[in-house]
Structure 1
């Protein structure tokens, strides 16, 4: 038992829960391109390499997405206003953080 405790002491955080990490622009592209996320309530969203995004909840909606700096941005017609979000990831969960601090979590769908 003492040897096990010593090993744990030498490897701090090895058993700590995984935490969200902030994604850079390149990380965002890698995390979202040609992927699909599922959201609470049953909605899903795909992110095509053509930079089209499709959101499905009570019917389809198609918009455009981009990475600007280190943020995910999207625009949904008929609006021409882009909304941008900081992105974090923890395992299979992608977190969108809005300008006002609002959080939306999506989980990868295979």
Structure 2
């Protein structure tokens, strides 16, 4: 196989998982999260419509969440500063991704 063809084939293989997930930005963060639960690999998080959120990974933690400027923002006592994230959803709507300002992503699946 010629080197350029081999490189093109490798790039296609590497690109498959990214394009298969088909992530898109969430326009309505509140509507997407309110009343839903997200399951992460070793934790769950419930987003209540009253702005409270409960994260459980062994010891439960309760915080607050809101939508601000099209982003998901949360605060977790005892820290008093809010952290905000871009939100993306998979093409089939079953998965969610939170991306911080440095580009670090956390992914989970909506509980059915």
Matching residue of 2:105:
103
Give the deviation of 1:18 after TM superposition: 5.0
Q: 1:100 aligns to what SS in structure 2?
A: coil
Pairing 1:23–2:2 present = no
Q: TM-score, normalised by structure 1?
A: 0.79
Report the number of matched residues: 92
Greater fraction helix: 2
- Structure 1 residues 30-88: Cα deviation after superposition (integer angstroms, max 9, x where no partner): 11000000001x20000000100000001100000000011000000011010000000
Matching residue of 1:83:
83
Give the deviation of 1:17 after TM superposition: 3.6
Give the deviation of 1:101 after TM superposition: 0.6
Matching residue of 1:64:
64
Root-mean-square deviation over aligned CA pairs: 1.2
Q: 1:79 aligns to what SS in structure 2?
A: coil
Q: TM-score, normalised by structure 2?
A: 0.78
Unaligned runs of 5+ in 2: 1-18
Whole-Å separation in 2 of the counterparts to 1:17 and 1:98: 22
